[in-house]
Amino acid sequence: MARERSGRTARHLVLVARLRRLREGAGLSVPQAATQLGWHPSTLRRLEQAQTSLDVGQVSALLAAYGAGAAEADDIMGRLNAANMPGWWHPWRDAMAPWLMDLMSVESAAGVVRTWDPALVPLLLRTPAYAMAVDELRCPDRDAAGRRRADFLVERQKRLQEQQTRLWALLPVTALRVRVGGDDVMREQVRTIQQIAERGDVTVQLHPEYAPPHPLTGVPALTLYRVEIREIADHVVREGGLPGTAEVWDSPHPVQTYQGMLDVSCVMAMRPARTGEVLQDEYDRKWA
């Protein structure tokens, strides 16, 4: 399971990883390093798990204890202020589940985001109206909160496009026939997917209605974050059974397992070139 974090930025996670590597390079375990510094081991663990800000005095002490070279020490100290700055998503804390707050630093550094939904349009492709309609089904009588989450989703979509993250979405064609929020909502949603699928930074694939089962058949909604920064691990998120819950992993085995499942499921899906034709057909038959 991924370590708990406190919504730190990618810059913060990179410096934390560099400090951890320096400790390991010095041949020190966490208890050994903490004893040498006169700290409680939990203090160092929390720092290495990005659960606290990077205090200048503490980082200076760590660099000295680990025997960091002058150039690396200067570089790390020079990056502290930027690493401690809150991420752009900080003002949106009220719109996020705790697991998502901890994951935004990874999303902000992702080069590729791959997503699957077994029954609905994947979250990162949803229009605000569609997202609010889904939210209303799961959390009735919370209109203001739903509007806030929809606005945050729009901001996430915009930021991913600005940072040139490649989005690769997989869904069954039947997801386009689930009447979420009524005809007007569905008309806008299907048209939006058509437009998104034409962008160079987005790939949309559909599974035909009567196709054989594939590795993700029956698997809950899933998102895989591929990160090019070596200090930040790839992550996989699988939605939980209750609204607002999810399981998050950053260890190689589950990430690689789900990546393999996505790979095979994409091979078994329609080619992206065919997706546009099917989307137009679905729009014309159901929502035009």
Domain membership flag for residue 251: yes
User: What distance in Å separates the CA atoms of residue 115 and residue 159, rounded to the nearest whole number?
Assistant: 17
* Chosen domain end from 65, 84, 103: 84
- Residue after which a domain boundary falls, among 84, 104, 121: 84
47 Cβ neighbours under 8 A, 6+ residues apart: 16, 19, 54, 58
Q: What is the average pLDDT across 200-217?
A: 95
HEC assignment per residue over 198-248: CCCCEEEEEECCCCCCCCCCCCCCEEEEEECCCCCCCEEEEECCCCCCEEE
Residues 160 and 210 in one domain: yes
User: Is residue 5's pLDDT more than 50?
Assistant: no
Residues 263 and 159 in one domain: yes
Beta carbons within 8 Å of 55's beta carbon, 6+ residues apart: none
For residue 286, the model assigns a pLDDT of 85
pLDDT for the residue numbered 7: 61
Band (pLDDT 50/70/90 cuts) for residue 240 is confident
Could you give the angle at the alpha carbon of 213 between the alpha carbons of 211 and 215, nearest 5°? Answer: 130
Same domain, 129 and 215: yes
pLDDT (0 to 100) of residue 101: 86
Residue-wise pLDDT tens digits, 146-169:
899 999 999 999 999 999 999 999
- For residue 245, give its domain range: 90-287
Do 63 and 188 share a structural domain?
no
Clarify whether residues 124 and 249 are in a common domain. Answer: yes
Task: Let me know if residue 215 belongs to a domain.
Answer: yes
Query: 69 and 204 share a domain?
Result: no
Are 33 and 54 found together in one domain? yes
What's 21's domain CATH number?
Answer: 1.10.260.40
Please indicate, yes or no, if residue 191 is contained in any of the structural domains: yes
Q: Is the pLDDT of residue 122 over 60?
A: yes
Give whichever of 97-106, 140-149, 213-222 has the largest mean pLDDT.
Answer: 213-222
67 and 209 share one domain: no
Q: Do 192 and 220 belong together in one domain?
A: yes
Whether the Cβ atoms of residue 110 and residue 227 lie closer than 8 Å to each other: yes
Is residue 1 domain-resident? no
Amino acid 243: pLDDT: 77
Same domain flag for 213 and 77:
no
Q: Are residues 57 and 148 in the same domain?
A: no
Looking at residue 4, what is its pLDDT? 42
Q: Are 241 and 153 members of one domain?
A: yes
Instruction: Quote the number of domains for the chain.
Output: 2
> Which pLDDT score, from 0 to 100, does residue 145 have?
87
Residue ending a domain, choose from 84, 116, 148: 84
Task: Indicate whether 3 belongs to any domain.
Answer: no
Q: What is the CATH number of the domain that holds 175?
A: 3.30.870
Q: What is the pTM of this model?
A: 0.85
Q: How far apart are CA 65 and CA 38, in angstroms?
A: 11
In a domain, 5, yes or no: no
Residue 41 lies in a domain: yes
